[in-house]
Structure 1
């Protein structure tokens, strides 16, 4: 009897499997796990801007970890659902709770799974058009200096010969309660009443195998119907390009912004940003030199000539942009950071910087890189800190010089161990900005990291 039952069950399962082949999915799993221990008189496990203000800062030591898990349900080559999740924690932070970026204390057992992405990715039949709709990565074509974030969006991209064009829409905030609505007159409880939207148009074209050019037009609108003083329209227009002439590759971009606020004073935007980078094969490694400019304004308040990148208005102004090409660890946000995401220039604006780096493979498994960055404020104002006398003018516009280095070893193809260190020699911009008119101590950090990707 058992044999008959098993035979019937097997036959039934086989019949169902052959009758509905359209339900078959190709399942893909990807992800990463990163853990590192940090010793620093600057980093403290927090996120955002942190200005050097202490004459004798305490050395702190902590361990952070991050796991990212991606599951892709692929129906066929033209249709798939992409999901991406994240779990962050600092060892010893908290347990038995419900919150993001915690769960590393004894007991663990914390509900802390974050949703980074959930979007549908599909091609429209008989067209060159690909569409992505849902919460997904949204990045500009200017190395992330305007926006580099996860956001709810619809992006449509068409490949046309040697070029491509992308058009998209993203709702960054709906019923915003931080910047767009005043405390006295909120419409935050009504979706669609206090929105911040981003419209994107981006084109690229390969003139030859060595020359590529591109252009983009982004419109950022903030619409607070009940409180028009918080409304504005910001137009960002830019061009970029890349040219290869062995052994050097040169690329860069220029961005210009214009628009107007809805305040009674009708402030007109007019900020701009630019970058130029050169890379060359030198000896066993690659030498890179990059320059960055993002305009500022003498007046520390938002004004018409300061470059304006995208920030997160629902988390108190945190940056949703970056400039990882600088390869800084303290001056700018670092690509390896987890929830402890500190930087002197967390938001990229009012800055002039020059950066030089060298990456070298020492053996098939051992590698090293070193970088130096020279950073100044475009305008001498109070955006980065005050003097003890309350004077917005600082001794200099020079913020400081960062030196950093990394030595790594590939334990396996997917597992890398590395030792990193960074030190910033503060410039005269920070003179007398510590307590009692003293100079703050130069910040430093060291960390050892394991990174596994699959």
Structure 2
């Protein structure tokens, strides 16, 4: 009896000693699972475009678990954000033999070494000021709705506020090369916001991207043409890209307007005597949100400039999606711009690990960047969502996507869009989500994509069939 009493006292003593420390630790995160039936989405890579109705659909389940640990107080904390992704039934144990691997571990037996570090950083306030600093591997997003970048990166970001002015200063290291003194990829940014009222904001922004990874002896990490390949700057270049822009939002009666416009200029300077390639591009977005009866409506349009010869002058905006073509700087799962609410044609707002689209995500059929291989894009879309009772939400969305330009035919340079037109497709989708209890939600979403004349392989290949996807999802947030 005495030994049990001693053990109990020991446990209580340890708990009392640990309690103050535990009070400074907080855990939050989510579990999400998505079951697919689709002739478009599969388990990896770009979408499965079908050229015959006889081809089978894909059926699979993916899941993600994320947990974020905050250690500290309201003035300073360290953050460790972990992630585990898998496809049910993919692999287990040490398969492939002796190797750890990301995004697997869902087969019989489990036991895969595959937990990822998404973020790990320290955040702190400067005493007696409004200044906050984030130092380490962190999540950051541009002022342009994620069209330029929405990513995890290592760096230092400082923000503060002097009403009605706010500011953010940032420096991020995208890739550290080891051949030359200046041969890395780095982002610098300055954002200044002015908010004269609660419902009006105007932002002035400047970004500078230096990518010197393509110097001789290095491996160029930036590929503005995406995974579809083709011509354009690759190795043996040095890029300096300048990007000024404005973003803003305001309310006009019942309508909230938001948008941005930016300009890019720079040069891919050849390091081996080849002709330089100049970059001259711009992008803009305008969105309106309106409360309509019991629900809400939005209309959004995006325009990215483009050109017909990216080997001569690059006229489409360069984005962080252009770094997704290499495993060293683009691990996958990239989906920067999602306010359009598309789930097939463009990056999905609900991406876990299967990130597939026509353009603009890490599994883009025509590139991971919205620059579309130098052609550019334009998009117009609308959506409606409504809450039914306290537990159910329904939505419906439609969008149209087009290339801004087509490549001129130059087979020697790898340019040939002669068999395409600019129409990339029209998507309609709808969904319903239901809250079962606090934090726990189930839902069903479906989409249909009418493929346009852009989505073709060169003759004599058959035309692709229109695509569909259905998704049953479970999401628990804690």
Structure 2 residue 163 is the aligned partner of structure 1 residue 161: yes
2:471 alignment counterpart: 447
Q: Secondary structure at the match of 1:117?
A: strand
The aligned counterpart of 1:344 is: 358
Please give the residue correspondences for 1:365-376 in structure 2 after superposition, counting only pairs within 5 Å.
365-376=391-402
Tell me the equivalent position of 2:109.
Answer: 107
The match for 2:436 is 411
Q: How does 1:379-418 map to 2 (within 5 A)?
A: 379-381=405-407, 391-418=416-443
Say which of 245, 248, 266 aligns to 1:238: 245
CA distance in 2, matches of 1:302, 1:284: 52
Q: Deviations over 1:322-366 (max 9, x none)?
A: 210111111111121222111111321211100100011122111
- Map of 1:3-14 to 2, 5 A cutoff? none
Q: Which range moves more in the overlay, 156-165 or 110-119?
A: 156-165
Report the equivalent of 1:54.
51
Which stretch shifts more, 414-423 or 308-317? 308-317
Residue of structure 2 aligned with 1:214, choices 199, 203, 207:
203
Q: Mark the CA change 1:352 to 1:215 in structure 2 (over 3 Å): closer, same or farther.
A: same
Alignment of 1:89-238 (within 5 A): 89-97=86-94, 98-175=100-177, 187=178, 194-224=183-213, 225-226=215-216, 229-238=236-245
Partner Cα distance (1:41, 1:221) in 2: 40
Structure 1 window deviating more from structure 2 (268-277 vs 220-229): it is 220-229
Establish whether residue 363 from structure 1 lines up as the match of residue 394 from structure 2: no
Instruction: Specify the alignment match of 2:275 in structure 1.
Output: 265
Give a deviation string over 1:58-103, Cα, whole Å, max 9, x none.
30100000000111002x2211111100000000000013110000
Counterparts in 2 of 1:68-87, with a 5 A limit? 68-74=66-72, 76-87=73-84
Task: Give 5+ residue unaligned stretches, structure 2.
Answer: 95-99, 218-234, 361-368
Residue 215 of structure 1 deviates from its aligned partner by: 1.4
Task: Compare 317-326 and 149-158 and name the one that shifted more.
Answer: 317-326
Cα distance per residue 1:216-262 (max 9 Å; x no partner): 11111012454583211011111011011231100100010011121
Confirm or deny: 8 A CA contact 2:277 2:311 kept in the other structure. no
- Do the aligned residues in 2 keep the contact of 1:172 with 1:198 (CA within 8 Å)? yes
Name the CA shift for 1:396/1:80 in 2 (closer, same or farther; >3 Å).
Answer: same
Q: Rate the CA distance shift 1:210–1:216 in 2: closer, same or farther, 3 A.
A: same
Confirm or deny: 8 A CA contact 1:309 1:321 kept in the other structure. Answer: no
Q: Distance in 2 between matches of 1:303 and 1:320?
A: 26
Query: 1:53–1:434: 8 Å Cα contact kept in structure 2?
Result: no
Q: Offset of 1:210 from its aligned partner?
A: 2.3
Residue 67 (structure 1) aligns with:
65
Aligned to 1:42: 40
Could you tell me whether the CA contact under 8 Å between 1:284 and 1:361 is conserved in 2? yes
Query: Of residues 24, 27, 45 in structure 2, which corresponds to 1:26?
Result: 24
Is the alpha carbon distance of 1:368 and 1:33 closer, same or farther for their aligned partners in structure 2, counting shifts above 3 Å? same
Describe the shift of the 1:267–1:376 C-alpha distance in structure 2 as closer, same or farther (beyond 3 A). same
Map of 2:223 onto structure 1: none
Offset from partner CA, 1:113-133 (integer Å, 9 cap, x none): 000000000011132211000
Contact 2:91–2:107 under 8 Å retained in 1: yes
Q: Is the CA contact 2:137–2:152 (under 8 Å) kept in the aligned structure 1?
A: yes
Task: Return the match for 1:283 from 290, 293, 305.
Answer: 293
Quick one: structure 1 residues 402 and 68, their matched pair in 2 at CA, closer, same or farther if it must change by over 3 Å? same
Runs of 4+ with >4 A deviation: 316-321
Q: Aligned ranges for residues 278-317 of structure 1 at < 5 Å?
A: 278-299=288-309, 301=311, 303-311=313-321, 312=323, 314-315=326-327
Flag the 1:402–1:125 CA change in 2: closer, same or farther, 3 A: same
Write the distance in 2 (CA, Å) between the matches of 1:274 and 1:167. 23
Could you say if the C-alpha distance between residues 391 and 257 of structure 1 is closer, same or farther in structure 2, counting changes exceeding 3 Å?
closer
Which residues of structure 1 form unaligned runs of 5+? 176-186
The whole-number CA distance in structure 1 between the counterparts of 2:467 and 2:317 is: 27
Query: Structure 1 residues 159 and 286, CA, compared in 2 at 3 Å: closer, same or farther?
Result: same
Q: CA, structure 1 residues 62+6, in 2 after alignment: closer, same or farther (shift >3 Å)?
A: closer
- Quote the RMSD (CA, aligned, Å): 2.9
What SS class does the counterpart of residue 113 from structure 2 fall into?
coil
